[in-house]
Structures are given as structure tokens and as C-alpha cells.
């Protein structure tokens, strides 16, 4: 079985973000200017943990070269990499695909959170035939938002005439994406976009070509009922048996993949529904030279009364997809 890399420290995203935010605050203080900061003093500042996982850190100076240099000087390269205080290539851009189906209650807040990310961004929203007003909301909102964005960020909307499924929406987004890394963001509030900073680290450091955010790794704060965890673990186990990989959460939304990889396999993707998660995982596994990485992420479940769509029939379809793509389709 091929090894999926994981961090040895395996801390939670909250702990990592708290350490990072406290360190940035420290770098912006007079203490750094006087060059008296030590490793011990820097990590003592992490005692002020985030008050709420939903609020995220107060500052996100991601990949800022000044902080990279300061961190390397005072803490060393290993701690700097661990905190993802990294320099981005000038050509870097993160493309985020957001499939939407009947999400009027959450989509605007999701987009607001995405646009706050301190990264060069391309956000591609794909409305998959919504009937609850999401389509009209997005049609009015996105052109207005696009006018106000800095040059480093763009947002666009693609419309499906009917509800074709999550897989179909992702394929539309993949075809439009022009970034160097492609990520997936559901249109609900189960996942926190701030975690993209945490997940990008292995890609920026060239330690990975594919990064999955696991809801069920040690250190993550998955809030999910027993039956959902059990079902996910069973599907993940079956997928791992057929792909030879050792993921902990194959059905996670948060998948970050180099654009060059998506460009190669995108046209071969067939699944139009939630089976895309298993098909994508299976087809990625066919490239033995790819480097895989997994990190824990935050996850706040929502119930069916709140709009959750995946159900028991999707679990059965997932099992079929595992078998189907194991056979080479």
C-alpha cells in the first residue's frame, strides 16, 4: 500500500493557526526588530489560543516574505515550514471550485470567507440548477463582487440548466480553472476555508501533488454522528484496498490537486454525482509518481433539515464506484 504522508506532530488546525497567528503578531512587534526573540518565547505566545474555531485567526499574513525571513532567522527553517510561512512563486494562483445546489442560506457567507483568504485566488462558482433562489442571488451578486476585487483575485459564475450533480459541477469548474493548484469548496458551512492555508503547505514546499483534508484524523475536530463516521471509514477502507493508498477520509470535500494533474485526468472523469469523490481518488492512484499528503481539518456537520444532501443511496453508489474504477473504467 502506497504511503500517504502525514505530519509527525499531527496537531489540530486550531493549534496550528493559533501558533501561526501568535507568531505573526510577535514578528510585528518591537521584540523582533531588536532581534531578541527566541524559539521558546515565540511558542510561549501560543497560549492565547483562538477563542472560537469559527472565527479563525485575526490575521492571516500567509506566505508573506517578511515573515518568512523573520521566522527562518529566529525559529529556523523547520518551524517556518511547519507554520506555512512560505514564499509563493509569482505565478501561483489557487483555483477554488464551488458547486452550488439550493444553498441560499449559506453561499454568500462561504464566498465572503473565501475572498478573505490572503492568496491569489480564482473562484469559480457553478450553480447546478438551483431552484431555491441561489441562482438569482449569485447572478446578481457575483458581477458586483467581481468589480470590487483586487487584481490578485477573480470570481466568476457558471450556470447549469438542470441539476446534473456535484461531479458535473466540478467538471465544469475544472475545465475553466487556470490556477496552479485546484481546490474544492462545498457551498455549505461544514468546512472552514481558512484551512486552505494549512493544506497548501505541502504543495508549496513540493512535498505533495495531492493533499486531502481529513475530518477524521487525530487532531481534527470532526463533529459527526457515529453512523456517518462508520460509513465513511468503511468506504475509505474499501477504496484504500483497491487503490493501494492509505487515506483516512476519501470522501472529504477538501481536496487540493496540482492543476497539471487535473488537466491530465479531468477529461476522463465520468461521475456526475457524489461518486466523483471515489472516481477522482481512484484515478489519482493510477499515477505512481504522485506524492500524496493528508492533514486534519475542522468540520462542523449539518443535518438534513439544514440542507445536507448526501444520503444512504449515495453510500451504495460509492461502493459501486469503488468496484467500477478498480476495474479500470
pLDDT < 50 stretches in the chain = 32-63, 219-221, 304, 307
- The pLDDT value given to residue 146: 97
- The pLDDT value given to residue 165: 94
Which secondary structure element, helix H or strand E, spans residue 40, and what is its range? helix 39-44
Which residue bears the cell 499515477? 287
Three-state SS letters, 61-124: CCCCHHHHHHHHHHCCHHHHHHCCCCCCCCCCCEEEEEEECCCCCCHHHHHHHHHCCCCCEEEE
What cell was used for 80? 517556518
**Sequence-distant (≥ 6) Cβ neighbours of residue 313 within 8 angstroms:** none
- The pLDDT value given to residue 12: 66
Domain edges within the chain: 13-82, 94-326
Q: Which candidate, 318, 163, 170, places its Cα nearest to that of 234?
A: 318
**Sequence-distant (≥ 6) Cβ neighbours of residue 260 within 8 angstroms:** none
Is the sign of the CA dihedral 101, 278, 182, 52 positive or negative?
A: positive
- The pLDDT value given to residue 234: 85
CA 213 to CA 200: how far, in whole Å? 10
Angle at 122 between CA 120 and CA 123, to 5 degrees: 130
- The pLDDT value given to residue 66: 62
Phi then psi dihedrals of residue 289, to 5 deg: -85, -5
Q: Which candidate, 323, 131, 293, places its Cα nearest to that of 201?
A: 293
CATH superfamily to which 94-326 belongs: Spore Coat Polysaccharide Biosynthesis Protein SpsA; Chain A (3.90.550.10)
SS3 category, 129 = coil
Amino acid at each position: 500500500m502506497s504511503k500517504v504522508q502525514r505530519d509527525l506532530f499531527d496537531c489540530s488546525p486550531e493549534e496550528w493557526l493559533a501558533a501561526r497567528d501568535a507568531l505573526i503578531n510577535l514578528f510585528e512587534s518591537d521584540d523582533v526588530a531588536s532581534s531578541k526573540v527566541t524559539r521558546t518565547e515565540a511558542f510561549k505566545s501560543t497560549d492565547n489560543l483562538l477563542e472560537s474555531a469559527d472565527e479563525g485567526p485575526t490575521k492571516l499574513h500567509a506566505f508573506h516574505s517578511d515573515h518568512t525571513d523573520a521566522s527562518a532567522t529566529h525559529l529556523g527553517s523547520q518551524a517556518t515550514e511547519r507554520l506555512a510561512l512560505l514564499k509563493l512563486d509569482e505565478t501561483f494562483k489557487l483555483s477554488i471550485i464551488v458547486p452550488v445546489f439550493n444553498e441560499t442560506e449559506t453561499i454568500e457567507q462561504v464566498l465572503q470567507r473565501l475572498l478573505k483568504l490572503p492568496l491569489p485566488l480564482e473562484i469559480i462558482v457553478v450553480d447546478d440548477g438551483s431552484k431555491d433562489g441561489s441562482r438569482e442571488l449569485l447572478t446578481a451578486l457575483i458581477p458586483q463582487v467581481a468589480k470590487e476585487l483586487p487584481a490578485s483575485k477573480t470570481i466568476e459564475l457558471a450556470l447549469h440548466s438542470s441539476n446534473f450533480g456535484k461531479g458535473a459541477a466540478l467538471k465544469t469548474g475544472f475545465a475553466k480553472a487556470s490556477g496552479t493548484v485546484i481546490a474544492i469548496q462545498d457551498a455549505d458551512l461544514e468546512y472552514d476555508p481558512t484551512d486552505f492555508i494549512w493544506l497548501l503547505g505541502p504543495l508549496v514546499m513540493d512535498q505533495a501533488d495531492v493533499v486531502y483534508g481529513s475530518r477524521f484524523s487525530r487532531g481534527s475536530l470532526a463533529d459527526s454522528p457515529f453512523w456517518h463516521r462508520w460509513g465513511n471509514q468503511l468506504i475509505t477502507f474499501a477504496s484504500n484496498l483497491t487503490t493501494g493508498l492509505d487515506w483516512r477520509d476519501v470522501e472529504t470535500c477538501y481536496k487540493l490537486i496540482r492543476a497539471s494533474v487535473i488537466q491530465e485526468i479531468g477529461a476522463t472523469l465520468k461521475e456526475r454525482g457524489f461518486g466523483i469523490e471515489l472516481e477522482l481518488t481512484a484515478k489519482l492512484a493510477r499515477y505512481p509518481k504522485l506524492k500524496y499528503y493528508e492533514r486534519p481539518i475542522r468540520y462542523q456537520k449539518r443535518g438534513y433539515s439544514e440542507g445536507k444532501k448526501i444520503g444512504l443511496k449515495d453510500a451504495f453508489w460509492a461502493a459501486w464506484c469503488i468496484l467500477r474504477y478498480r476495474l479500470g473504467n
